[in-house]
Structure 1
Amino acid sequence: MTTLAAPRPHPLLWPLMAAALVLGWSSGFVGIRYASQDAGVALLLFWRTLLSGLILLPFALLIGPRLRWRGVRDQALFGVASVFLYLGGFALAIGQRVPTGLVALIADLLPLAMVVLAQPVLGERLRPRQWLGTGIAVAGVLIVTADSLSVGSAPLWAYALTVGSMAVFAAASVVFRARRTDPMPVHQALCIHTLTGAVLFGLCAATQGSLMPPLTRTFGIGMVWLIGLGTFLAYGVYYGALRVWPVARVSAAIYLCPPVTMVWAWALFSEPLTWAMAVGVAVTLVGVWLCVRD
């Protein structure tokens, strides 16, 4: 009995999906920079996560396996790291005017950090090439950071916050993987993550004043941008691409986001864009490629 081979995707499908992925992923950073002009970071993220979670809630309840307490609890704990600490950390850094492209560069080193942390937590040994790639990538980030410090006005703690939030998310991801919890469909997990974030961001925003959103055009456009592009387009295309192409190829597209984010921030907000930043990004991309390629 012969089996039919799976149809090969159209040659133009990958370039189109890669472009959509880069657009959606980078828009999350740029959208926060845009919308934070009219609202504090906590209030902005409260409404972003609340609306995203409420849109997903009917699908999470009606489509997929029945939600059980243990799964909801585990995903909520992971949501604290993946949304509240990770998203909140780099959003606060952007709000303190750390260059948006640098924040994207550090945040997108998450897969590399997970590779490094997998050794002590999961016992997965790193090859010499992966250690070399890690060192090169870190050197690239230091080049961009040094140049950003010379032209920027953000406090030093805001730069450290970006690195710390990325490291916390990477550690949580590796620990979550080590626990071997029951898998959950993406739309259900993302719903729990965002609603968990909404509760925590709401508490933070409430201590700073009202939870009412500013009724401005900038904030409204920012919400549509962040929810439509930064949440649903980015995650939808990412997980859809993983069903067709290898992880290495999909991850490679995400590593194109920092330079795209830098260009967006330069064009929209007149953030600095220097040759040193370009060199640092290129060095980082080489290091990441060495570390994550098969």
Structure 2
Amino acid sequence: MLEAGLLLTWSSGFIGARFSIDYAPALLVVFWRCVVVCLLLLPFVFRALLKTPVSVLLTNAGIGLLAMAGYLTGVTQGIALGVPAGLAALCADLLPLGMALLAALALGERLARQVWLGLIVGLVGVLWVTHGALVLGDAPLWAYGLPVAGMFSLAVATLWQKHASTSQSMGLLPNLWLQCFVSSFAFAAIEGSQGSLAPIPTTGFVLSVVWTVALSTLGGYGLYWICLRRTTATRVASVLYLSPPITLLWAWAMFDEPLSWQMASGMAISAVGIWLVVRAEARQRSAA
């Protein structure tokens, strides 16, 4: 149920970006979403934050910068520079493979062949769903690396969080507050260099911020870290292979975008890949 909730709320972020782009720059909405989250959570977390050692705060601040500021900036700025949204989303959806590669190369972790097979099958499902939306665009060549860099930023943050010692861990709400707090400065620096940080007094802007605060941040990132604490990083990332088709269902419900059997079959292929990953990891746990 937690993973189902993660899929629903994580995919809401792409819909929130789609909705907000008509009312404000993407990073301006992201900046104010962080500000609002900080204001909402502060009464509930300030005592816990005061009791937390500085070293723990710094560790979790670094994780937050990579997971939120690095990931969102890479994807949104790539799109802003002309990288097609479908291609940027596909780069973000490479997270499971990116994390597996980092774990193998940097941490020396060995994944079972069935896990690798499941990751590749899941990616095939994503490609099958999204290939109709994939075009090259006219962005400068280096801009295409931004979504990939954003994906690797989240992958590094995920592995860092998973392998951090228990003494470096924080409660969920203090951790979310800290991530939004440090990321707000990064978003302010980038967006402030391009224009004003003042909120736009329109209903669309307010709804965009409320949507991304409630669903994308408290829901999406909150459930992401909860799931990560309860299972492996590879499993959590592989579950997100179902995010593109769920996003398409959101788009159908909210924007009346068409559905097709191709989307359904792609979701089925990704589900098979996730099943292979889950079954392989279950075998590894029973063998251990």
TM-score class normalised by the smaller sequence: 0.7 to 0.9
Per the alignment, residue 186 of structure 2 pairs with: 200
Aligned equivalent of 1:11? none
Q: Which amino acid aligns with 2:116?
A: W
Q: Which residue of 1 aligns with 2:159?
A: 174
Query: Are positions 1:263 and 2:249 aligned together?
Result: yes
Moved more, 128-137 or 110-119: 110-119
Aligned-partner Cα distance in 1 for 2:186–2:64: 10
- The alignment of Structure 1 onto Structure 2 pairs a total of residues equal to 276
Supply the distance in 2 between the matched residues of 1:143 and 1:159 (Cα, whole angstroms). 21
Unaligned runs of 5+ in 2: 283-288
Cα distance in 1, alignment partners of residues 22 and 148 from structure 2: 23
Aligned-residue Cα RMSD (Å) equals 3.5
Of 10, 25, 34, the residue aligned with 1:25 is 10
Does the Cα contact within 8 Å between 2:45 and 2:173 map onto a contact in 1?
Answer: yes
Which residue number in structure 1 is paired with residue 39 of structure 2? Answer: 54
Which whole-Å CA distance do the structure 2 matches of 1:284 and 1:119 have between them? 22
- Kindly state the Cα deviation for residue 170 of structure 1 after the two structures are TM-superposed: 0.7
Find the aligned partners of 1:97 and 1:199 in 2 and give their Cα distance.
25
Structure with the higher fraction of residues in helix conformation: 2
Alpha-carbon spacing, 1:146–1:285, altered in 2? closer, same or farther (3 Å): same
Does residue 1:223 correspond to 2:209, yes or no? yes
Kept in 2: contact 1:18–1:253 (CA 8 A) = yes
Q: Structure 2 counterpart of 1:204, which letter?
A: I
Local SS of the residue matching 1:211: coil
Instruction: For residue 38 of structure 1, report the CA deviation from its aligned partner.
Output: 1.2
1:285 aligns to what? 271
1:164-212, CA deviations, whole angstroms, 9 ceiling, x for partnerless residues?
3112221343245445361111211211111111001001111111111
- 1:89-238 alignment to 2 at 5 Å? 89-93=74-78, 98-99=84-85, 106-107=91-92, 109-149=94-134, 155=139, 160-175=145-160, 177-178=162-163, 180=165, 182-237=168-223
Give deviations 1:242-268, integer Å, cap 9, x for gaps. 78x766997776554321211222443
More displaced 10-residue stretch of structure 1: 164-173 or 183-192: 164-173
In the alignment, the residues of structure 1 paired with residue 197 and residue 16 of structure 2 have an alpha-carbon distance, to the nearest angstrom, of: 20
Change (3 A) 1:250 1:141: closer
- Matched position secondary structure for 2:187: helix
1:133 & 1:94 partners in 2: Cα distance? 29
| Alpha-carbon displacement from aligned partner over 1:135-179 (angstroms, at most 9, x marks no partner) | 3233334444542125x8675866653333112221343245445
TM-score, scaled to structure 2: 0.78
Percent identical among aligned pairs is 38
CA distance in 1, matches of 2:120, 2:3: 27
CA shift, 1:281, in A, is 4.1
* Alignment partners' CA distance in 2, 1:209 and 1:280: 40
CA distance 1:233–1:188, change in 2 (3 Å): same
Label 1:144 to 1:106 Cα distance change in 2 as closer, same or farther (>3 A).
Answer: farther
Instruction: Tell me: CA distance 1:178–1:103, structure 2 relative to 1, closer, same or farther (3 Å).
Output: same
Residue 70 (structure 2) aligns with: 85
Equivalent residue, structure 1, for 2:286? none
